[in-house]
A = this chain, B = another copy of it.
Amino acid sequence: MESRCESCIIRQFNSLRAMSKEELKQVSDSKITKKVKKGDPLFNEGEKLNGVYCVRSGVTKLSKLSENGKDQIVKLATKGEVLGQRSVIAEEHTNLSATAVSDMEICFIPKTSITDTLNKNPNFTLEVLRHMAHDLKEADDVIVNMSQKTVKQRMAAAFLYLKNNFGEDEEGYLRLNLSREDMANVVGTATESAIRIISEFKKNEWIATKGKRVRVLNEQKLVDLSEGF
């Protein structure tokens, strides 16, 4: 049982909200809803996409493999985010790979639905543009953090990011659980270094773990550290 885009709440969070009724209907008729299991790829770096992916639930990592064989995670995308837009607009192969880090439900929207609307609906184009402007700002900030902060600072910032963007459950544990390896790849460090720093955070009682799950105990300390105090 497929649901209709017209009644999809997710849409409020992305550029699709600027679409007209008819455009939305056309998207709805051509879209394909898929489930993706944790660990499975949505698409891979260098592929040519013939559409975009709208995330309905779950989280995906956007990463790029470097020559030394390490995967740098550039962004984590969740509910409401549209993936592959950049590639479709620039008519280029994808620059990043997308892999599910939790079970996901996504909608695949064929290229033409997007490009047609881009050509016809200036409001939509402007909305996409605003989103991309925002992404670009975020990317610039990441560049600065990567080059100017220590691994420890970045790791603290990463936990705050997880807390602020994906929230906590009733018991106070982070909703999104990343493996140490993924954490290392977000922060841009070796897995062992990530583990060591996480152990240190635990020892300091800034975070606590229970099995896979992580809880932030002292947010202020993490903020201070990430800002360099």
Contacts and interface: CB of A to CB of B under 8 A. Distances in A.
Interface of A: 64, 66-68, 70, 72, 74, 85-86, 89-90, 92, 95-96, 118-122, 125-126, 128-130, 132-137, 139-149, 188, 227-228
Shortest Cβ-Cβ A-B pairs, 3 listed: A147-B188, A66-B148, A139-B139
Contact of A137 (B95, B133, B140, B148): B95
Contacts of A141: 64, 95
A118 to B, nearest CB: 6
Given A67-B227, A139-B143, A143-B146, A126 B118 contact: yes
A67 B150 CA distance: 12
* Copies of chain A in the complex: 2
A23 to B, nearest CB: 14
A100 B52 CA distance: 39
B188 A146 contact: yes
Given A90-B133, A119-B126, A121-B122, 4 more contacts: A96-B140, A122-B125, A139-B143, A146-B147
Contacts of A89: 129-130, 133
Contacts of A119: 122, 126
Given A74-B144, A122-B120, A143-B72, A149 B90 contact: no
Contacts of A140: 64, 74, 95-96, 139
A14 to B, nearest CB: 15
Contacts of A130: 89-90
B68 A148 contact: yes
